[in-house]
Structure 1
Amino acid sequence: MGQDITLSVKVLDEENKEELIGATIFIPQLSIGTTTDINGVGIIENLKEGTYGIEVSYIGFEKLKDNITISSTSYTFTYYLEESEESLNEVVIQATRSTRTITDIPTRVEFIGGEELEEKALMNSTNISMVLRESTGIQIQQTSLSSGNRSIRIQGLDGRYTQLLRDGFPLYGGFSGDLSIMQIPPLDLSQFEIIKGSVSTLYGGGAIAGLVNMVSKRYYV
């Protein structure tokens, strides 16, 4: 039994002579390999004396094959890889600046109001859960049996990711996901505006799932 041998392989770009980080070094007959580190060096340990076939490859470069013979305790090899002719073309990303703000970008808003709202208010005038539970993609989840607290889940996300607004202003200081909607009667509301999907850019992290805006009735004297 001979001594264990450590093989060190340095991989460079042939054109720029720069180290290639993450290049693959593989010895097929032993089915072992490694990848190069930040210095472009890959190390394979516990080899025995002999001749081995070695494959060096990297994305966008031609695969290199070589036969090496090792007999002492440590060996270092350096390989230069050529760029492949089938490498990916350069990707150019262009952007155009405009004066349009994010608040002007159209967003799909669902509307509940009129006769539908009045019908649901008559069926359950104590809270808004009856109004919202029949809307697609919205689930009313009871979070407390003792107090009857419920949260609004949009598209399966947790209730804390649904923002509740009243006339465009956050209810409960923006933490409505963990509080009850029992205290919100639908009798003094004229309509519901529902956005399903993330609008956190405009309304903060509480609106990752979406938001429900409750518009109050306006009385004129």
Structure 2
Amino acid sequence: MTRRLPVALAALSLHCGSPQRPPADPPPPAPAPVTRATLAGPTCEGGQRCACRDDDAPADEPRPPAPYKRFEIRVGPVPNAVWVTVDDRVLYKSAERPLECFTVDLLPGVHPVRVQAEDDAGVAIAIRIREQSGGGPWWYDTFAFDCGRGGLCDLDGLRAEQRRIAAVPRGIHAPCGSVKVQRFQWRTGRLPDALHPDRIAVDFALNVYRFATERPPGDAACARGRR
């Protein structure tokens, strides 16, 4: 019994993870470094990327045919490569281009999203998703995630973003939009310097609702209507 105790304690320690985040499988390998998606809208050329819209520019371009809804996905600015998968679409931002934008049309329903990056020296991830209004020249801030921009993402940064996102009531980041963000989680690979993961995968789902979006961002009636 006495000789077995250290072995038992050692085995127990292998199964004890942080109370803030239990152990999880490492991120999957990144896809091939190429965009594979049907991009939408007048800012997209060549099938690989779209021009990034000015934040203050009105969303006055034509809407997609019903029941599709249009989303701009802005990746960066970060120095490393980043992959974003939406359903079976792959959106790729290379290390040579700090900022990349993509526009996709989504049907109502639940769309799984994965954002991932990998580099032995550490990585940063920044992404913003906006929904085009169906009733006016507006964009709704559907979702944002930012860890390590201007440096490298670490575990503290990941946990801080997780707390911020978890605090959003019912996952509705834009009350006047039509999306709930659900099932948010993150995974990491190794920590070569004990601080910065060499691989990060952020997973969540965009639950796109069918109803029309007709009010400007910040309209108080939107929050009242979605309680």
TM-score under structure 2 length normalisation: 0.23
TM-score under structure 1 length normalisation: 0.23
Structure with greater strand percent: 1
